[in-house]
Amino acid sequence: MTVPTNKLNDGNAIPQLGFGVYLVEPDECERIVGGALEAGYRHIDTAALYENEEGVGRAIAGSGIPRDELFITTKLWNDDQGKESAPVAFERSLEKLGLDYVDLYLIHWPSPTRGRYVETWQALEEIKASGRARSIGVSNFQPHHLEDLFRATETVPAINQVELHPRFTQRENRAFGREHGIAIESWGPLGQGKYPLFDLPEVAAPAEAHGVTPAQVVIRWHLQNGLIVFPKTNSAERARQNLDVFGFELTAAEMAAIDSLDDGTRVGADPDTAT
């Protein structure tokens, strides 16, 4: 199985489909990520907040997969924002992962009440220059947060990882990303199971037509939109299913029907107010 890659604005390539580990219990993480790697995933999305970087690291070490065939992302937690504290937190993450570099390092949230995301971005620019993060980016940034970075710093983020699923399609952020060469990653791509997405006829009907599951339809919708996506599951069976999405294609009408589900419903926090 070959997962396509997207080219980032810094020249690096990222596998368009990966495996997310939010809410994967630390003591189960090694087994679950190990299973995902065995199933064929090569892109893992974790974060300091998830407290499972050590499990991800052990799964990588145990897999025997050459490091340059993997794409590993982690994220800087809000409490560690700042010019001095960000590099310390970054080293801590690398140590927990047991790696000497990550492929992508993200600022997890802008956390605007702290007023530190611009200086934190400057710290990430230095981390990238050191070669210990191949690419750097942000998460949960709105266009106006990105404009603040553009005014004060040299590097355009390679990635903006944002909440994105059929009821919340982020049209504005995606258009802004296209304009400035920032690739968009979809977090909560299945709506985190917080609304009955799979029962909606716009999802259920193409699933039936293509002989696939509703989850596969939704993952395919992200991929055909050019988005980078890493659904999470603790189930080995679902992990295999979520990777098996390259044998069918949604029609333009099926894509448009899913697009039409956007009613502005977030399942997560609002980046302008989240602390």
The footprint of ligand NAD (CB under 6 A) covers 20-22, 45, 108, 139-140, 161, 187-193, 213, 215, 230-233, 238, 241-242
Q: Which is nearer to ligand NAD, 129 or 272 (CB)?
A: 272
How far is it, in rounded angstroms, from Cα 107 to Cα 85? 13
Q: Which is nearer to ligand NAD, 29 or 99 (CB)?
A: 29
Q: What are the C-alpha distances in Å from 177 to residues 45, 130, 149, 184, 203?
A: 20, 26, 14, 7, 26
Q: Would residue 117 show up in a list of annotated catalytic residues for this protein?
A: no
17: which residues sit within 8 A by CB, 6+ positions away? 3, 4, 41, 43, 219, 223, 228, 229, 230, 242, 243, 245
User: What three-state secondary structure class fits 147?
Assistant: helix
Q: Which is nearer to ligand NAD, 65 or 267 (CB)?
A: 267
Whole-number minimum distance, CB 249 to ligand NAD, in Å? Answer: 19
- Token output for 110: 């802008």
With beta carbons less than 8 A apart as the criterion, state whether 60 and 66 touch.
no
With beta carbons less than 8 A apart as the criterion, state whether 144 and 80 touch.
no
Q: Which is nearer to ligand NAD, 11 or 196 (CB)?
A: 196
**β 5-7/13-15 pair status:** antiparallel
Whole-number minimum distance, CB 63 to ligand NAD, in Å? Answer: 18
Whole-number minimum distance, CB 104 to ligand NAD, in Å? Answer: 12
Catalytic one among 41, 50, 105, 117? 50
Whole-number minimum distance, CB 172 to ligand NAD, in Å? Answer: 18
Measured at the CA of 162, the angle between CA 157 and CA 164, to 5 degrees, comes to 140
CA 75 from chain centre, in angstroms, equals: 10
**Catalytic positions:** 50
